Structure 1
Amino acid sequence: MAVSDQDEKQLRIDLAAAYRLLDLNNWSDMIFTHLSARVPGSEDRFLLNAYGLLPEEVCASNLIEVDVKGENANISPESVNPAGFTIHSALHLAREDAHCVMHTHTMAGMAVSALEEGLLPVNQTNMEFYNRVAYYDYQGVPLECDEREAIVAAMGDKNSMILRNHGLLTVGRSVEEAFYRMYYLNKACEIQVEAMKTGGKLLLPDDDVCEHVAEQMANPRYNAQSIDLIWKAMLRKLDRIDTSYRD
């Protein structure tokens, strides 16, 4: 199927919307939060926010196209965060289905990333990720591209990852799929942190129950419909607040 300029325009709008939703959901870490997407029809070109912009400032037109080295593929002075690019490029290059990669430093995500036991099935939301979350041990700020192989190996075929002592990461075949996974992975972390705050003994369902729920949540028809309806609802919400992300 031929790729048109309209395909890239829509991708830019969707990715910019995801940045605005990141801000709206209080997931922002100032200028250090990164969401990326593979340019339609390309294997080695990606869209990323310009280094220095807040998520609330990102719009379709100011997303930067970068190559596999994280260098601006167009003639303009803007650059991207090298640490952010290392993590994203690793998965874009290794996973054909990783069209979009999202990485956040949310308070709940960072808190759970510091727990030895990681994410626990304390709630139905958490069970969606039961045995479906990868973990990557902290190696320092990921500035070197040779760390790509380790990130890819840790991720395997999973779509969600907890970067220990760091934050959260999700991939998707589309912006909306990666956003859906990030929203609920972070929500699962929030639920766990709140449950642990009570100081009570955590009630964890049996493994077979958790696996059953995870399989239910992964039902392709249910999952695809949920992602589509949620994304459309989120865009409507953004449009009621501020349509400038589309510019």
Structure 2
Amino acid sequence: MSSPLATPATAPVRAAMHPDEQEARLQLAACYRVFAMLGWTEMIYNHITVRLPDSVTGGEKQFLINPFGLHYTEVSASNLVKIDLQGKVLDGSRHPVNPAGFTVHAAIHDGLPDAHCVMHTHTTAGVAVACLQGGLQQTNFYTAQLHDKVAYHDFEGITIHADEGPRLLQSIGNRPAVILRNHGLLTWGRTLPQTFAMLWTLQRACEIQMATLSMGAPIPVSDAIARKCTRDALQFNPQHGGGQDVFDALVRQVDRIDDSYKH
């Protein structure tokens, strides 16, 4: 994971910290501020998590999560909380973590080898589509880029019970975009920018669908065209940056507003 955000001059996290953890903290904190700028917030709820690399953990599965009780605009590189799969705080943080966050995110980080990053939102458009009987329809430019990439998981209530984890993983399979029925949206990926690009596309697809259905019957996109669109959607492809350029552009906007996430 390389990013111009993580230079020593702009990542004053903790002197004794492994540089790979410093980099992960800085990028994740920036992402929380991007979400806030985009309006993808739900008071103090929802989560974006990053699994730390083996260079930091020695092979143990550990990840960073937002401190429970803070708004996304208050999240910074230094106050992100490092926890294990059971939600145990590993870095001496004084902040608590939300069980509804680490239960789902831990299951995905543990069960999917490529799930370096996991993002979950309760946006109006996302929850609206999640509550729709037919779910996401293949009827617009953005859904056409998600052909065979969207999984569904049935609502089981507030996500604080560990026994839901295996069922969630079975629902997801290998699909990186997930609609949690009656609940919201979730994406996962090999990198944070790639996961963000997937969520942005899924969110945009939901917004357009909600607008379209308010006006009338949408025009369907054929499977053949959707498969072609998904192949041609380069923003998810690591060989074409995997969303890094888009993410960096948004972080530059955040920096012009408030760069306190770096501390």
TM-score range, shorter chain: over 0.9
1:80-119 equivalent positions in 2, closer than 5 A: 80-119=97-136
1:22 aligns with 2:38: no
Aligned equivalent of 1:239: 255
The structure-2 alpha-carbon separation of the partners of 1:112 and 1:220, relative to structure 1 and needing over 3 Å to count, comes to closer
Aligned equivalent of 1:58: 75
The structure-2 alpha-carbon separation of the partners of 1:53 and 1:181, relative to structure 1 and needing over 3 Å to count, comes to same
Structure 2 CA distance for aligned equivalents of residues 217 and 195 of structure 1: 22
Q: 8 Å contact 1:217–1:223 — kept in the other structure? A: no
Deviation of the 1:75 alpha carbon: 2.6
Q: Which residues of structure 2 form unaligned runs of 5+?
A: 1-16
Q: 8 Å contact 2:81–2:93 — kept in the other structure? A: no
Q: What is the count of residue pairs matched by the alignment?
A: 243
One-letter code aligned to 2:88: E
One-letter code aligned to 2:165: R
Correspondent of 1:170 among 165, 187, 201:
187
Aligned equivalent of 1:204: 220
DSSP 3-state at the match of 1:121: coil
One-letter code aligned to 2:219: L
One-letter code aligned to 1:246: K
One-letter code aligned to 1:5: H
Deviation of the 1:40 alpha carbon: 2.0
Q: Deviations over 1:206-225 (max 9, x none)?
A: 22111211122158758733
DSSP 3-state at the match of 2:163: helix
Aligned equivalent of 2:65: 48
Structure 2 CA distance for aligned equivalents of residues 210 and 59 of structure 1: 39
Greater Cα offset, 95-104 or 71-80: 71-80
Q: 8 Å contact 1:113–1:166 — kept in the other structure? A: yes
Q: 8 Å contact 1:71–1:79 — kept in the other structure? A: no
1:75 aligns with 2:88: no
Aligned equivalent of 2:202: 185
DSSP 3-state at the match of 1:124: coil
Greater Cα offset, 171-180 or 98-107: 171-180
Q: Deviations over 1:178-229 (max 9, x none)?
A: 111111110110010000111x221002221112111221587587336121
Q: Which residues of structure 1 form unaligned runs of 5+?
A: none
Q: 8 Å contact 1:134–1:160 — kept in the other structure? A: yes
Structure 2 CA distance for aligned equivalents of residues 64 and 144 of structure 1: 21
The structure-2 alpha-carbon separation of the partners of 1:218 and 1:150, relative to structure 1 and needing over 3 Å to count, comes to farther
Q: Deviations over 1:124-148 (max 9, x none)?
A: 1111112210000001111111111
Structure 1 CA distance for aligned equivalents of residues 52 and 22 of structure 2: 10
One-letter code aligned to 1:23: A
Structure 1 CA distance for aligned equivalents of residues 182 and 239 of structure 2: 30
DSSP 3-state at the match of 2:68: coil
Structure 2 CA distance for aligned equivalents of residues 218 and 32 of structure 1: 31
After TM superposition, the score normalised by the length of structure 1 is 0.94
Q: 8 Å contact 2:236–2:243 — kept in the other structure? A: no
DSSP 3-state at the match of 1:65: strand
Q: CA RMSD in A?
A: 1.6
Deviation of the 1:243 alpha carbon: 0.8
The structure-2 alpha-carbon separation of the partners of 1:107 and 1:219, relative to structure 1 and needing over 3 Å to count, comes to closer
Structure 2 CA distance for aligned equivalents of residues 68 and 205 of structure 1: 41
Correspondent of 2:241 among 220, 225, 231:
225
One-letter code aligned to 2:19: Q
